[in-house]
Amino acid sequence: MKVNLLDFDLEGLVAFCQQLGEKRFRATQLFRWIHQKGATDFAQMTDLARALRDKLADKAEIRGLSVITQHESTDGTIKWLFDVGAGDAVEAVYIPEDDRGTLCISSQAGCAVGCRFCSTGHQGFSRNLTTAEITAQLWFAEHFLRHRRGSDDRIISNVVMMGMGEPLQNYDALVPALRTMLDDHGYGLSRRRVTVSTSGVVPMMDRLAQDCPVALAVSLHAPDDALRSNLVPLNRKYPLAELLEACDRYLQHAPRDFITFEYCMLDGVNDGPEHARELVRLVNAHRLHSGHGGVWCKFNLIPFNPFPASGLVRSPDERVAAFAKILLDAGLVTTIRKTRGDDIDAACGQLAGDVQDRTRVAGRIARQRTVMLKPVTMRPE
C-alpha cells in the first residue's frame, strides 16, 4: 500500500523524504505543493526532478476523503459528510463570517465519552481518525473553496476541533494534524486560530500544553460534579477541581491566552440562576478569573440543538440571557453562540444527523451515495 502523504506534518515528510535519499528542502517543496496548492498529482510538481516525481508516484500518494454529501445552508454554511470506510462517516462544517472563515472538523468516527446532550455521543465510538483523515478535511475544504471562488487567496482562517469525537482521546493522530495547520509551509494558521475543544481529558491537556499549545476550549456544561458527571460521564474520571487545575496549568504555558468554557444550555437542567452563581464561585475559586484586569477565561453559552433521543430541551432565550447576565455582572466575559447552518443540521452536536446508532450509518451512506450525483445538495425544506 502506498504511503498517504497527508499523514505527515513537515517533520514527518522530511523523515520520509530522507528515506528516499532526498534533502529537507525537497520535503518542504513537496509539503507546499500538497497543502498550499492542493496538488494531488506528483506530475504537477514541476520544480521537483523527474526522477523524484517518479519515485514518489511509485511509493506515495495524496489521498483525500471521498465526499458522500455536501449541504449548503442559506447562511453560506457548508457541511460535508466524508466516507471513512467500513460504514463510518464523519463531518466537517465551513462557517463563513465577515472577518473570518472557520472550519469545524472531526477527530473520531463516533465518540466514547457519551455526553447526554450530544448526538455523536449517543452514536457510540467507532474508531479514531488517522492524521491523514483529520488533515484531509482541511485540505479538501480549503482547496474546494478556493477552486469555487476561482482564487488562490486563503479562505479558512480558523479551525475548531468541534466536530465529531473527542480530539484529546485521539492525541497521537491529532498533534501532527495541528502542526500542519500551524506550519508556515502548510496552512500558516496562528496558534490562537486553531482551537481544540475537549470534554476534559486532563493528562492530554497537559501534553498539549507542552507539545502544541493551541487555543483551548473546555466543555464545562455544569458547575458541580454531580451534575457534570451526569451530563459528561468523563467527569467521574477527571472531576471539576482537577479539570480547572489543568486549565490553570495550560494557561501557564500560554500566558497571554484564555480558556473558552463551553456551556450547553439545557432547559431546567443546568440553566438556572443558581447554576450561574455557582459557576462564578467555581472559576473565582480556581483563580481562572483574574481580579486585576487579565482575562483567563471566557464563557460561550451554546443553545442546545435538540435531537429526539436526548429527551432534553433547549433553554428559552430569556433564560439564556438571564444566565449570561449573572456571569457578565460578575465580570466574566460571556458570549451566546449564534447557531449556524441550522437548516442543514450543521449546528453543534447535530453532526451525526439522524443517526441513532452506528449500525445504521452504512445504510445511510448507501442511501446518500445516490445523492452524490449532484455536487451540491440542498435540503428541500
Residues found near ligand SAH in the complex (CB under 6 A): 117-118, 162, 166, 197-199, 219, 262, 264, 302, 304-305, 348-349
Strands (E), the chain: 3-4, 60-61, 66-72, 78-83, 89-96, 101-104, 108-110, 125-128, 158-161, 194-198, 215-219, 259-265, 297-303, 333-336
User: 93 with 77: CB under 8 angstroms?
Assistant: yes
User: 4 or 107, CB closer to ligand SF4?
Assistant: 107
Q: Which does 304 bind (CB under 5 to 8 A by kind): ligand SAH, ligand SF4, none?
A: ligand SAH
* Binding at 162: pick from ligand SAH, ligand SF4, none (beta carbon under 5-8 Å per type): ligand SAH
* Residues contacting 81, CB < 8 A, separation 6+: 67, 68, 69, 70, 89, 90, 91, 353, 368
Q: Which of 264/361 has CB closer to ligand SAH? A: 264
Q: How far is the CB of 85 from ligand SAH (least distance, A)?
A: 21
**Residue 199 contacts ligand SF4 per CB under 6 A:** yes
**Annotation says 348 is catalytic:** yes
| Strand 333-336, strand 297-303: pairing | parallel
Of 202-221, which residues contact ligand SF4 (CB under 6 A)?
Answer: 219
Q: Pick from ligand SAH, ligand SF4, none: which does 223 bind, CB < 5 to 8 A by kind? A: none
Among 30, 115, 220, 361, binds ligand SF4 (CB under 6 A): 115
User: Rounded distance, CA 163 to CA 207, Å?
Assistant: 21
Contacting residues for 268 by C-beta, under 8 A, at least 6 apart: 313
Q: Does 310 bind ligand SF4 (CB under 6 A)?
A: no
Would you call 91 a catalytic residue per the annotation? yes
At 64, list the grid cell: 483525500
The three-point CA angle 328-289-269 to 5° equals 55
- The alpha carbon of residue 228 and the mean position of all alpha carbons in its chain are separated, in whole angstroms, by 22
Helix, coil or strand: residue 186: coil
Question: Cell 497527508, residue?
Answer: 6
Task: Calculate the dihedral angle through the C-alpha atoms of 305, 310, 315, 320, rounding to the nearest 10 degrees.
Answer: -70
Quick note: the x/- pattern for ligand SF4 over 149-188, rule CB under 6 A, is ----------------xx----------------------
Instruction: Give the nearer residue to ligand SAH in terms of CB position, either 162 or 175.
Output: 162
What is residue 116's three-state secondary structure?
Answer: coil
- Minimum CB–partner distance for residue 285 and ligand SAH (Å): 22
Query: Could you say which of 14, 65, 118, 189 contacts ligand SF4 (CB under 6 A)?
Result: 118
Residue 176 binds which one of ligand SF4, ligand SAH, none, with CB within 5 to 8 A depending on kind? Answer: none
Q: 34 or 178: whose CB is closer to ligand SF4?
A: 178
Which residue of 4, 102, 120, 350 would you call a contact of ligand SF4, by CB under 6 A?
A: 120
The reply on whether position 303 binds ligand SF4 by CB under 6 A is no
Which residue among 22, 72, 91, 166 is the active-site one? 91
Q: Residue 347 CB, nearest distance to ligand SAH (Å)?
A: 7
Nearer to ligand SAH, 5 or 264 (CB): 264
Q: Quote the CA–CA distance of 132 and 226 in Å, as a whole number.
A: 38
Q: How far is the CB of 234 from ligand SF4 (least distance, A)?
A: 7
Quote the CA–CA distance of 264 and 304 in Å, as a whole number.
6
Give the angle subtended at the CA of 108 by the CAs of 106 and 110, to the nearest 5°.
105
Backbone dihedral angles phi then psi of residue 258, each to the nearest 5 degrees: -140, 160
CB of 102 to ligand SAH, least distance (A): 13
Please identify, using beta-carbon distances, which residue of 126 and 219 lies nearer to ligand SAH.
219
Residues interacting with ligand SF4, by CB under 6 A? Answer: 111, 113-115, 118, 120-121, 165-166, 199, 219
- The residues that are catalytic are 91, 348
